[in-house]
Amino acid sequence: MMGPSLLARHKSFTSLVFPFTSDFVLENLGRMGLTLFLFVVGVKMDLGLLKRSGKKHLYIALASVFGPLLIVSIVAVLTRESMDEELARVSSIGEIALSFSVTTFPVHYTILEELNLLCSEVGNMALSIALISDAIGINFMVVFEAMKQGDGSAQSIIWYSISCVVMAAFTPVIRRAMVWIIEQTQEGEAVDQFYVIAILLGSFVAAFVTDMFGLGIANGSFWLGLMMPDGRPLGSTLVQKSETIITEVFMPCSFVFMGLYTDFYAMKEAGWSALRPLFGLVISGYLSKFFCTMLAAKVVGVSWRDSLAISLILSLRGYVELVLYVHWVDRNVIGLPGYSLMILGTIVVVGILTPLISILYDPSKPYMLKQRRTIQHTTQGDHLRILVCIRGKTNLPSLINLLQLFHPTVQNPFSLHAFYLVELIGPANPVFVEHQNQELEDLSGRFPDLEIIHHALKQYQEGREECVELHLFSAATVKPTMYQDVCKLALISKAVFIILPLEKKLDGEMETTEQWGGESGSIVTQILDNAPCSVGLLVEKAERWQLPQIASYNFIVLFLGGPDSREALAFSDRMSGNPCVSLTVVRFLASNAEGDDEMQRKLDDGVVTSFWVKNEANERVNYREVVIRNGADTTSAIVGMAAEKYYHMWIVGRKQGINPSLLEGLSTWSDHKEYMGILGDYLSFSESVNSDSVLVVQKQVLTGKGPNFFTPPGSIVSFMRRGRLFW
């Protein structure tokens, strides 16, 4: 809009906004942004993904590269007579055909990250294909660039080839220097800022050298980034220190600079006859890329929907292509009208395909089930499958203590799936690992607390091998897609309960921003919305909870009704068999049954009755009922219970099916009710409720079912006769 296509056509606007020296400043800031952007992309790129890619990815990549390359080349040959002299050169046709054939990894990583598809099956496949495509494209690019150099003289080809060899020879030297920097850094500390600045400045030097040798300004910084050891401490530090200023300061200047080049009026002045050959290449390039990729994916066994999603993703264009168009203008491959046509095509394609991808592929859809996976519906004697999510070693004390009190036995065993989650900083591709003992040392750089976590869990399992199965997993991924890994593992492991540990900071606030990425848009909220099973939020109120050396541990369940409360009661019922646990269940009833849902009330009656019949003879289990008029009565009753006895853990349902009259007036001051629920938030942050921890339980939400949907467990037979429910 600011360029000659609209506002810059007015001289007064140009003189005011873009004085004489502004073009020079914007162009150089834009090139600096390009250099740093490609350097960071090189740091993020994990070439090990090439080795881990399967044959399916390779076949799709080959078809998606060579298919469009062949088709665009054929179209170019057929329309070559109507092309201008520069465009008709073999090197120019090859570069344009290659641009539509090659899928650039930096562009598609950014797109998948913004669409929250990095950890999805389609996203992982697209990344692998893009990396293979890039590896093929770099070799072709060197060939076509050499041909372009050969348009001048044979001597230029020789010097170009020598330059490539010299750059390749320096690769091991630079790599060794980076390893030396890592060796100078103490374990657990960040890389010295002097080295960080020197490396970032080195990216400009590399860009200058490759541009001087005729290899292009973009290649030097990108290749330097590839030489950086990924992960901690060097790769992650470089990304953390530079990514914000690149995306927020330099990149906007790059886009403004590219936009100022674009002139749609130049297309009109050039006329259709001049642009028709290039337009034919553009249309054939996009269509051949789309259909070749989709058909290849389908041939190797990918579903039609996923094949369509992959082909749409790989047909997108982005920043790297825009830079390439500018490079073509500088090298006279295309003129300003052709450049404007390419920009227009990119805008149209991205604007149409991106929303289509979001519509076609929902990454959360596979995790929602129509079958029950809850503690309540797990019969006695079956393996109780629990998924424990760990963000660091600070989560271990409360988790281990809770597992110890869960009291697994040979008659009631459980499978523990421990999932260690690390935020992805440095290498771009997400990593998901099912651990074997010999793998721990190899992955310690990427997963810093892995050995401590593994040792603690193994120590917990000692003496319980007959009743506890232990499986350890790790994942390195970005926060926006971390919930997908959790839900995927819960689905695969057939977990019935996910435990998410939350810590309170010294100022009393919840440490969700640092650990789980904020509140309303956090990983916690996304897991609650998409989990294929029940979820428990374990809030550690004590700074570090250690089990007190006493004969009995007091737990209390606040039963306010609804599916979440029924699941919380089922959870506590599993611990009632532990001889070291004393359990108190308090049921809150609305005065005169005001606001009660009749169906929920009957379901609650059945579950509570079943629980009490089972534990009536257990002296360590107490049950009582409290009649409540409003939220003030609820908090008063809770404060009275806390004053009466010290409870080590408070267990409460999150929010599904709770009678609103029981919480009337409490929602106005609740800061974390979106994911904790009103009462869970109150118990976690109220100074009147002293405890070691709070467990907030959400029962599984079925696909297409509301929170009132209920399927009774096998141990309780229920049936409907003439509108009445019998137990």
Structural tokens at position 703: 């696909």
Measured CA to CA, the distance from residue 575 to residue 552 in angstroms comes to: 12
pLDDT surpasses 50 at 638: yes
Closest CA to 342 of 292, 257, 287, 267: 267
Measured CA to CA, the distance from residue 161 to residue 284 in angstroms comes to: 32
pLDDT surpasses 90 at 509: no
- Judge whether 16 lies within some domain: no
Say if residue 421 is in the same domain as residue 547.
no
- Judge whether 684 lies within some domain: yes
Domain CATH code at residue 346? 1.20.1530.20
What percent of the chain is modeled with pLDDT above 90? 6
Torsion angle of the four alpha carbons 101, 104, 107, 112, in this order, in degrees rounded to the nearest 10: 90
pLDDT band at 675 (very low <50, low <70, confident <90, very high): confident
The pLDDT of residue 441 is 55
- Judge whether 8 lies within some domain: no
Closest CA to 590 of 624, 558, 556, 631: 631
Say if residue 378 is in the same domain as residue 316.
no
pLDDT surpasses 80 at 283: yes
- Judge whether 25 lies within some domain: no
Phi-psi domain of 426 (left: phi exceeds 0; alpha: psi -120 through 50; beta: other):
left
Say if residue 76 is in the same domain as residue 114.
yes
The pLDDT of residue 476 is 81
Who has greater pLDDT, 364 or 16?
A: 16
The pLDDT of residue 231 is 65
Domain CATH code at residue 384? 3.40.50
Closest CA to 49 of 137, 134, 111: 134
pLDDT surpasses 90 at 159: no
The pLDDT of residue 499 is 92
- Judge whether 19 lies within some domain: no
What confidence tens digit (pLDDT) does each residue in 262-276 have? Answer: 888 888 888 888 888
Structural tokens at position 633: 């009565």
pLDDT surpasses 50 at 720: no
Q: By CB neighbour count within 10 A (0-12 exposed, 13-18 middle, 19+ buried), where does 636 fall?
A: middle
The pLDDT of residue 229 is 77
Domain CATH code at residue 600? 3.40.50.620
Say if residue 469 is in the same domain as residue 571.
no
Say if residue 369 is in the same domain as residue 254.
no
Q: What angle do CA 150, 152, 154 make, to 5 degrees?
A: 50
Number of domains in the chain: 3
Q: By CB neighbour count within 10 A (0-12 exposed, 13-18 middle, 19+ buried), where does 620 fall?
A: middle
* pTM metric for this prediction: 0.72
- Look up residue 655 and give its amino acid: K
pLDDT surpasses 50 at 520: no
pLDDT band at 652 (very low <50, low <70, confident <90, very high): very high
Measured CA to CA, the distance from residue 722 to residue 611 in angstroms comes to: 26
- Judge whether 305 lies within some domain: yes
pLDDT surpasses 90 at 295: yes
Least confident span in 77-81, 125-129, 407-411: 407-411
Domain that holds residue 686: 541-706
Measured CA to CA, the distance from residue 425 to residue 238 in angstroms comes to: 9
The residue among 328, 360, 392 that closes a domain is 360
What confidence tens digit (pLDDT) does each residue in 306-326 have? Answer: 889 889 988 888 888 888 888
Measured CA to CA, the distance from residue 118 to residue 126 in angstroms comes to: 9
The pLDDT of residue 443 is 60
Say if residue 346 is in the same domain as residue 403.
no
Residue-wise DSSP of 243-298: HHHIIIIIHHHHHHHHHHH--HHHHHHH-HHHHHHHHHHHHHHHHHHHHHHHHHHH
The pLDDT of residue 543 is 61
What percent of the chain is modeled with pLDDT above 70? 83
Who has greater pLDDT, 35 or 463?
A: 35
pLDDT surpasses 80 at 301: yes
All residues at 6 or more sequence positions from 288 whose CB lies less than 8 Å from its CB, including other chains: 67, 68, 71, 72, 100
The pLDDT of residue 558 is 92
Who has greater pLDDT, 381 or 122?
A: 122
**What is the average per-residue pLDDT within 425-445?**
63
Distance of CA 127 to the CA centre of its chain: 14
The residue among 327, 360, 393 that closes a domain is 360
- Judge whether 292 lies within some domain: yes
Q: Which stretch, 257-266, 446-455, 558-567, has highest mean pLDDT?
A: 558-567
Say if residue 185 is in the same domain as residue 326.
yes
pLDDT surpasses 80 at 177: yes
The pLDDT of residue 292 is 92
**What is the average per-residue pLDDT within 716-726?**
30
The pLDDT of residue 322 is 84
Say if residue 348 is in the same domain as residue 424.
no
- Residues facing residue 4 across a β-bridge: none
Closest CA to 101 of 54, 61, 59: 61
Average pLDDT of the chain is: 79
Say if residue 258 is in the same domain as residue 289.
yes
- Residues facing residue 564 across a β-bridge: none
Measured CA to CA, the distance from residue 563 to residue 384 in angstroms comes to: 19
Which phi and psi angles does 262 have, rounded to 5°?
-75, 125
DSSP code for 120:
S
pLDDT band at 651 (very low <50, low <70, confident <90, very high): very high
CB contact burial 18-43 (16+ within 10 A = b; e otherwise): beeeeeeebbebbbbbbbbbbbbbbb
Structural tokens at position 580: 């070291």
Q: Count the alpha carbons within 13 Å of 270 in the hemisphere toward its beta carbon.
A: 23
Say if residue 494 is in the same domain as residue 637.
no
- Judge whether 509 lies within some domain: no
The residue among 535, 555, 587 that closes a domain is 535
The pLDDT of residue 485 is 84
pLDDT band at 713 (very low <50, low <70, confident <90, very high): very low
Helix axes 251-261, 319-330, angle to 10 degrees: 50
**What is the average per-residue pLDDT within 375-397?**
83
What confidence tens digit (pLDDT) does each residue in 11-47 have? Answer: 788 778 777 777 778 778 888 888 888 888 778 776 6
Say if residue 154 is in the same domain as residue 185.
yes
**What is the average per-residue pLDDT within 627-634?**
86
Say if residue 356 is in the same domain as residue 371.
no
The pLDDT of residue 725 is 28
What confidence tens digit (pLDDT) does each residue in 100-147 have? Answer: 888 777 788 778 877 877 777 788 788 888 888 877 776 666 666 655
